[in-house]
């Protein structure tokens, strides 16, 4: 991979009036906004109001897997808004029934019952309510570096963001140590992560703290906001067994990993087990608000018998379901999974080249088109390079590439997330890697 120097761009868009209005009227829901204004987006490129183009290596919020402004999705939205976009929540439509069938057909048994929703937090909230009702219990377990959403139940199963200032947590939530191989907390004789012992110890602690009401464990197959952490092979199947021993359900949150992001249709397919409940969102809408909960007929029947209620304004919306159907059609027709396996290899190889060239890149990890790199001050001690990820992100944006650094404190801020659209071309991947190479080379000297 050759590196071509790319000129710097202005630090902030020149649309002074818009920025003044933003400063005055937009409620700040994050620490800071990116210093650019986006006029439009197409494919893997963001077109800014100052005339510059930026490669989007986050596919929006890790959602636009078919690229921005995909013509078939745009046509689906136009048709739905003109004909059938929204209904009374107790009514069904052909798009909802079709999406339910298509999702069931794409999944192994016994996953065949589908609830169509709009956001990831909402789907996780519904899954948690479903698990609590069916098991008759209320305690929830999640990874210590988890992110499952900002609604009440999902937020209380989220540990990768500070909780201070929001009042007491919901009783009955427990964290399980994250199987973080690069920074192991329980090691074997070779100094590697002993994940089986870690898992045993984690559940021994949870068993001691539980009041005997363990309902479910909710996890991501790859922890995105936790730093793109991939559990060791065999871990998730062993976790499923731990849940079964305790009469718990295993909820798998595949908001970011489902629908070919990792090269498989679903990330769990590579792990040799099937979850009790699967939640989908981001990738299912490919940039539009679409989500779903999928479970077995046995769980659905028991929930219905007990009066399961999740009656929201946009449950079973025809527009959301129509978009989901189009996304599945494009993925299957164009064999996107096969493309991802090839391009994911290209992306990983390019990132490993960066690791060989830049000592501050301590580890490359991920699968398919969901990759992460962790910055360190020293590759031997693995001391986190606090602040370097933000500096690389900022410089990359100036050079024409949008990537995302996890900025949640501790060593989180040293992990960079890279999740381009699955339709990103090989040439665009090479250009993005060249920009990232330059950004790291220019930012790193200030930190080492």
Q: Say which of 122, 125, 194, 220 is annotated catalytic.
A: 220
Task: Establish whether 28 is a catalytic residue.
Answer: no
Q: Say which of 253, 264, 339, 437 is annotated catalytic.
A: 253
Task: Establish whether 282 is a catalytic residue.
Answer: yes
Give residue-wise pLDDT tens across range 57-77. 999 999 999 999 999 999 999
Task: Establish whether 378 is a catalytic residue.
Answer: no
Task: Establish whether 188 is a catalytic residue.
Answer: no
Structural domains for the chain = 71-333 (3.40.640.10)
Task: Establish whether 417 is a catalytic residue.
Answer: yes
Per-residue pLDDT at 61: 95
Q: Say which of 198, 256, 371, 438 is annotated catalytic.
A: 256
Give residue-wise pLDDT tens across range 183-236. 999 999 999 999 999 999 999 999 999 999 999 999 999 999 999 999 999 999
Q: Taking Cα atoms as reference points, which of 385, 343, 350, 378 lies closest to residue 364? A: 350
Per-residue pLDDT at 85: 98
Per-residue pLDDT at 4: 43
For 56, 89, 297, 302, the CA distances from 308, given in Å and listed in that order, are 40, 15, 14, 9
Provide mean pLDDT across the span 47-60.
Answer: 96
Q: Say which of 122, 417, 428, 438 is annotated catalytic.
A: 417
Give residue-wise pLDDT tens across range 67-122. 999 999 999 999 999 999 999 999 999 999 999 999 999 999 999 999 999 999 99
Q: Say which of 132, 261, 282, 431 is annotated catalytic.
A: 282
CA distance 193 to 233: 12
According to DSSP, residue 139 is labeled E
Tokens 């920025």 belong to which residue? 19
Strand pairing report for 45-48 and 38-42: antiparallel
Give residue-wise pLDDT tens across range 377-391. 999 999 999 889 999
Residues linked to residue 173 through DSSP beta bridges, in sequence order: 140
Q: Say which of 147, 271, 365, 395 is annotated catalytic.
A: 147
Per-residue pLDDT at 1: 47
Task: Establish whether 24 is a catalytic residue.
Answer: no
384 and 278 in contact (C-beta within 8 Å)?
no
């Amino acid at each position: 991979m050759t590196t071509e120097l790319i000129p710097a761009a202005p630090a902030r868009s020149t649309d002074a009036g818009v920025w003044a209005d933003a400063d005055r009227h937009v409620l700040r829901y994050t620490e800071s906004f990116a210093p650019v204004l986006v006029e439009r987006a197409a494919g893997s490129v963001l077109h800014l109001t100052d005339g510059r183009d930026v490669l989007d290596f986050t596919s929006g919020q890790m959602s636009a897997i078919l690229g921005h402004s995909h013509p078939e999705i745009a046509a689906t939205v136009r048709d739905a808004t003109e004909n059938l976009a929204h209904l009374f929540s107790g009514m069904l439509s052909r798009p909802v029934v079709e999406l339910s069938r298509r999702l069931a057909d794409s999944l192994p048994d016994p996953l065949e019952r589908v609830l169509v929703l709009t956001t990831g937090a909402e789907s996780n909230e519904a899954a948690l309510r479903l698990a609590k009702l069916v098991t008759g219990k209320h305690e929830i377990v999640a990874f210590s570096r988890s992110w499952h959403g900002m609604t009440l139940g999902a937020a209380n199963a989220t540990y990768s963001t500070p909780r201070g200032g929001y009042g007491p947590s919901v009783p009955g939530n427990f964290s399980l140590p994250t199987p973080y191989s690069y920074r192991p907390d329980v090691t074997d004789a070779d100094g590697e992560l002993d994940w089986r012992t870690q898992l045993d110890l984690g559940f021994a602690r949870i068993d001691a703290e539980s009041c005997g009401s363990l309902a479910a464990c909710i996890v991501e197959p790859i922890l995105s906001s936790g730093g793109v952490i991939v559990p060791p092979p065999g871990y998730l199947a062993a976790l499923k067994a731990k849940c079964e021993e305790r009469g718990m359900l295993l909820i798998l949150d595949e908001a970011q990993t489902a629908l070919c992001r990792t090269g498989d249709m679903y990330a769990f397919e590579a792990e040799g087990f099937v979850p009790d409940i699967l939640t989908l969102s981001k990738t299912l809408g490919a940039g539009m608000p679409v989500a779903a909960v999928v479970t077995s007929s046995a769980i659905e029947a028991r929930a219905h018998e007990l009066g399961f209620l999740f009656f929201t304004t946009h449950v079973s919306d025809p527009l959301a379901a129509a978009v989901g159907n189009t996304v599945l059609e494009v993925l299957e027709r164009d064999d996107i999974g096969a493309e991802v396996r090839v391009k994911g290899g290209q992306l990983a190889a390019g990132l490993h080249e960066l690791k060989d060239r830049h000592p501050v890149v301590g580890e490359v990890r991920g699968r398919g088109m969901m990759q992460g790199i962790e910055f360190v001050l020293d590759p031997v001690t693995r001391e986190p390079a606090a602040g370097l990820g933000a500096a690389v992100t900022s410089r990359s944006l100036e050079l024409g590439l949008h990537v995302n650094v996890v900025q949640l404190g501790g060593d989180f801020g040293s992990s960079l997330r890279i999740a381009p659209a699955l339709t990103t071309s090989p040439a665009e991947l090479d250009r993005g890697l060249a920009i990232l190479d330059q950004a790291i080379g220019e930012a790193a000297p200030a930190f080492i």
